[in-house]
Amino acid sequence: MVASRWMIHCLCVVAAISLTSCKVRNRNSATGGSASPAANEPDRGETGVEKVKPAPGTGNVQGKVLFNGKPVENIEVKLCETFNRFLGGCGGKTYTARTDKDGDYVITNVPPKVYEGLLARVFDTDSYIFATTGFAGLSANKYEVSADKTLFASPTNLYKVDLKLVNPKAGAKVSGQNLELKWESYPDAAYYKFSIFPEESSIT
Q: How confident is the model at residue 201 (pLDDT cuts 50, 70, 90)?
A: low
Average pLDDT of span 153-171: 83
Q: Report the alpha-carbon distance of residue 64 to residue 73 in Å, rounded.
A: 10
Q: Report the alpha-carbon distance of residue 62 to residue 53 in Å, rounded.
A: 11
Backbone angles phi, psi at 137, to 5 degrees: 65, 35
Element (H, E) at 113: strand 113-115
Other C-beta atoms lying within 10 Å of the C-beta of residue 20: 21
- The tens digit of pLDDT for each residue in 42-71 reads 777 778 999 999 999 999 999 999 998 999
Question: Residue 118, SS3?
Answer: strand
**Cα angle: 135, vertex 136, 139; to 5 degrees:** 70
What domains can you pick out in the chain, each with its CATH number? 1-13+163-204 (no CATH), 17-158 (2.60.40.10)
Other C-beta atoms lying within 10 Å of the C-beta of residue 13: 20
Would you state the pLDDT for residue 173?
Answer: 79
Other C-beta atoms lying within 10 Å of the C-beta of residue 12: 19
